[in-house]
Structure 1
């Protein structure tokens, strides 16, 4: 075999829309010829043919390492397939020969083939868990728009559930970059239950590049028994399920999420050396998603705590003006990144009240954080303090699009948001903030109108 030098210049080719190799540099032409193909015929190298079809179907550039058979040996290739008007343009580098065996870096591709063979349909993601591939018939058969899901977070397609031990197998797989099985999920579009399995995929440098996954529908049978015997109807779910779930969150999620965030931040900072910018951006997306999940963990732990019948807060002297300044300081970086200014109370302002410092700070971080999130660029968030009739109040006002009167009660309910399509939190923040305020003898209220921003008021008993 004469294709042995990975330092040779890139080899180019063109696959037309019918999957035929119509143009090829000599090395690609020779390799394809040895595989039984020829110019004007379908690509005879299965791995390259698959990537060309994938790039054409998705309409995006696909770049992946493959191992192709070449006589008694194998050749490692890095194939870049980019769709264009005439078909798919190929640029191939690497060309490293080796004995015919599969190293660990390529094991995910082979395991993925076994997963897909037993699945109802298959899916793939990139390293940021954005969907890059769905089986052609999956959306039509199961009631969702497959094309619209491409490029979306995996959680936009699936609502993930915990297993019998209160864990999420996918999080373990993501943290350790290893295979996971038995992830309970439902299709968001239809609510149909299914199980997910996946094996990790690596790039040419051995770095985690996403998952090759399988979806197993469980509408009819699960482990040979009717689903009804294993899946209780919603009204049969115990009322303390949320408590039991939240009680295991720290152990099940916080540690792996912490590792995910730390590693992603390290990759994004390129602390181990230069990295392709798109990979660094993927790492930033992973860290951002990890922090979002960590915030959800915090919210659910708080939810479990405040809904316990024995939940109490401390009765201690606090300065609400000082708490507001501290909360604004904690959100300074986020506001700067969003190009939003925060006008906080002056250093000499004081507003004595009775409550628990930590919980009051939590309430104001939530209110000010929401104001920053929904403010336009170059917008302003105002924080003011007032005292009236034995009540100490902090007002947080923004210049966002406002909240319709019909939605103003709903936003304080669990898991409710005005527009779930907008990026934001879990839908628990305002519910928790109001519960905490009322536990301290105060309240959180809102005054708003569409197009006129929102004005949230946090009150506590005034302290003489």
Structure 2
């Protein structure tokens, strides 16, 4: 819209947007909101609340983040009976602050992405998020060097076009490319920047991925999906921007900083990543506590899943000076379960073992013919009185220990039991802990 145009909206007494012109509604929807929902643009919501509290018209300029740009607006909020009427003018786009360097620009470009990938000019994968592999049930390392189409099944957008093909032809960025993950069929949106080599030639894409929660045909979205969607849109993007900016400041890309300020930036980024992990845990919590939650049960090889989980944590373990021993490659244990969820459980168990293991020690991942996978460490162990507590919601044995939300083991046990299995712990303080996942065996056919 031009700067001369004004968009109007109405906010009810509960802070929900009940009417909006197209331009204002579009801005709100891109922020994760919509009609009938709480006003999702914080600056506008604040002015509406202020006008209501003071019972006088409020008018001021604000700057709103809108995807990859900032929008300068002039907003007037005025009480009208039980509602607040908004008049929004200006609509001047300006590029937000960008730290120097292509990598830093990419961090902001896909700040709202859940995970990342990279490919070369021939569209061969050169990097795939290991955490995404654990979450969606694919081997991130095994995909390296393979065509990008082994990971994504690209689909036409609403205009019956494939944005990635147009971007490839023109050597430019693309966004909101619909796709499905090949390993799981999960629907996603893919965006990317075009990479350049030292000569300025096209060198591939560096991109980010967001999941799409789709309700079944003919049904309304469930409460859990709506909440998860709000968490994703309302929290993940601003947290991603905070983390990216803090990392850029800490890297001193714009010049040298004092040691104190660089440390503050690192603390901010670390706290942001902790909150991002909490969002993931809360989304999983909503899923497993739904009455209709049902994992996809199928024959799987527990030994193979255990090897994959150990492989996904190998870099983290190496950085901590911990060795992971995994089941041998010729070992196979057929069980019944949801591959992605079993991998999620074992990544959680192995990750905890690595976290609490001292440098120079080992974590042993083993399986047996009874359909059990055991993760054993030599850390400080768990006192008998705390062994039941570790599986309770939001419980942490040592609240002073950094990281963790107190949800991982609770979610893991809920998942295991939903698949007809369970998780048990054996531990002696000072001698480590053994967590065992058991699943129903897959009978021979």
State the TM-score, normalizing by the size of structure 2: 0.48
User: Which of 1 and 2 has higher RCO (CA within 8 Å, sep 6+)?
Assistant: 2
